[in-house]
């Protein structure tokens, strides 16, 4: 799937960057394993901590404090932030709880999310950012692999529609 994504982006002279939390670089790894990926893949950020999300992606601390690091709002901010900072056509983001433990509450908000909760986001230049939630009851590595697979699958569908 990633070969098709790289080929499609290359043919359309489009670029991509990633911002990952729970997948720890696996998304960037999959994309950069494709020969010729350097023509479209600009860079990837692993922003595992809240501090790195603030420092590298310029996500406001208030967004993290209000919604928590595993949220639709943070996934959206990550995808948009990496796209803007990297000056790419597309920005992809992952944030979730791979387990085995959850993240608990954050300042009294409803942040008690189950292990396996995942938010994925795709920001595209000139289009609304797509964000969605998944829940996978998988062990840690399988969770990460499934997260990347789902995001790449959704991106391939978007590219088919946008870049015909």
Quote the pLDDT of residue 111: 61
Regarding pTM above 0.95, the answer is no
Q: How many angstroms separate the CA atoms of 125 and 87, rounded?
A: 9
pLDDT the model gives residue 137: 87
**β pairing state of 90-96 and 41-46:** unpaired
Flag whether pLDDT at 107 surpasses 50.
no
What confidence tens digit (pLDDT) does each residue in 70-98 have? Answer: 999 999 999 999 999 999 999 999 999 99
How do residues 4-19 score in pLDDT, each as one tens digit? 999 999 999 999 999 9
| Structural domain spans, the chain | 2-162
Q: Is 19 helix (H, G, I), strand (E, B) or coil?
A: strand
112 pLDDT higher than 80: no
Per-residue pLDDT at 138: 85
What 3-state class would DSSP assign to 150? helix
Round to whole Å and give the CA distance between 27 and 14: 18
Mean pLDDT of the chain: 92
Once rounded to an integer, what is the mean pLDDT over residues 6-33?
97
Q: How far apart are CA 124 and CA 56, in angstroms?
A: 19
The distance from CA 136 to its chain's CA centroid, rounded to whole angstroms, is: 16
Distance CA 3, CA 22 (A): 23
36-50: pLDDT as tens digits: 999 999 999 999 999
Assigned CATH class of 2-162: alpha beta
- The angle formed by the CA atoms of residues 54, 139 and 143, to the nearest 5 degrees, is 50
């Amino acid at each position: 799937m990633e070969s098709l994504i790289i080929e499609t982006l290359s043919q359309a002279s489009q670029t991509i960057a990633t911002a990952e939390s729970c997948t720890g670089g696996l998304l960037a790894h999959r994309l950069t394993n494709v020969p010729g990926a350097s023509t479209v893949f600009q860079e990837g950020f692993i922003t595992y901590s809240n501090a790195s999300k603030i420092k590298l992606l310029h996500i406001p601390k208030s967004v993290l404090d209000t919604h928590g690091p595993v949220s639709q709002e943070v996934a959206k901010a990550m995808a948009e932030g990496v796209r803007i900072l990297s000056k790419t056509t597309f920005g992809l983001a992952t944030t979730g709880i791979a387990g085995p433990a959850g993240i608990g509450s954050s300042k009294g908000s409803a942040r008690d999310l189950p292990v396996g909760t995942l938010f994925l986001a795709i920001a595209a230049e000139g289009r609304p950012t797509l964000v969605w939630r998944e829940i996978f009851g998988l062990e840690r590595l399988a969770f990460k692999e499934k997260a990347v697979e789902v995001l790449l699958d959704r991106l391939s569908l978007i590219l088919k529609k946008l870049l015909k």
